[in-house]
């Protein structure tokens, strides 16, 4: 397993710093107005802003991309995103998932009418992924960005060669979303969620780093998938 992985809580979101051969990649940028918090956390980790070369946005929701522009301006990092998700930036639309299960339906009714009204500055996207996979090797990172639709149409995940998978909201693990790790409680297409997880497992995902909550083993997802059959 890779060891240079750092977790940053930026609002309600678990963001991650992953060190590669030529710098650091940030997975997700948290809720809006978190630049000051981001700066403090970097200083405590002795990470220089210019060390961050890429900001991977797993999807377009405010809690994952809200501070992306501010962090991009601060670090000079390039933004990477899938074309199917960038359209929500371009058209100022909100990717509105459905609730999955009773808790997903209840919390969706409570939260999402508020969430969809939250505005934030959209960053310019430097690397737009068009296909199903994008290798980061040439950029100095031993991993592959995989298109994993389900939560939203253009959701992406990063799978490192050592088995760590950073999946955004393709999984949840933490209140108020879930009390135990598992499949997402919000999805625009639940069937696509299942297909995306089968793809991630085939790509060697072993340890799952969700966009909300703590990491957990992929065996939990394997069990959840088997229960859906």
Could you state, in chain order, the average pLDDT of each consecutive group of 10 residues for the chain (229 residues)? 81 95 94 97 94 97 98 98 97 95 94 92 96 91 96 98 97 90 96 97 97 96 82
Question: What global pTM score does this model have?
Answer: 0.95
User: Exposure string (b/e) for 133-144, b if CB count within 10 Å is 16 or more?
Assistant: ebebeebebebb
Q: Looking at the DSSP assignment, which residues form a beta bridge with residue 178?
A: 174
Q: What three-state secondary structure class fits 224?
A: helix
Cα 84 to chain centroid, rounded? 15
Q: Tell me what pLDDT residue 1 has.
A: 43
The domains of the chain, with CATH numbers, are 5-228 (3.60.15.10)
Q: Which helix (H) or strand (E) holds 84?
A: helix 83-90
CA distance 23 to 142: 12
Q: Tell me what pLDDT residue 63 has.
A: 96
């Amino acid at each position: 397993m890779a060891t240079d992985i750092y977790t940053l809580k930026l609002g309600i979101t678990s963001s991650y710093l992953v060190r590669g051969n030529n710098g650091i990649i940030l997975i997700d940028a948290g809720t809006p107005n978190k630049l000051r918090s981001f700066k403090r956390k970097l200083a405590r980790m002795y990470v220089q802003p210019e060390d961050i070369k890429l900001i991977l946005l797993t999807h377009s929701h405010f809690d994952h991309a809200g501070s992306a522009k501010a962090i991009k301006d601060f670090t000079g990092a390039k933004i990477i995103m899938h074309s199917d998700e960038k359209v929500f930036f371009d058209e100022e639309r909100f990717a509105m998932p459905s609730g999955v299960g009773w808790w997903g339906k209840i919390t969706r009714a409570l939260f999402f009418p508020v969430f969809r009204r939250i505005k934030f500055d959209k960053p310019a996207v430097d690397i737009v992924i068009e296909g199903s996979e994008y290798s980061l090797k040439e950029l100095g990172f031993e991993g592959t960005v995989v298109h994993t639709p389900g939560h939203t149409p253009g959701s992406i995940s990063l799978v490192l060669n050592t088995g760590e998978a950073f999946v955004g909201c393709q999984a949840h693990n933490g209140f108020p979303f879930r009390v135990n790790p598992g499949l997402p409680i919000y999805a625009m297409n639940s069937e696509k969620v299942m297909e995306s997880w089968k793809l991630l497992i085939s790509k060697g995902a072993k340890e799952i780093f969700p966009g909300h909550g703590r990491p957990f083993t992929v065996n939990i997802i394997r069990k959840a998938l088997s229960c859906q059959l």
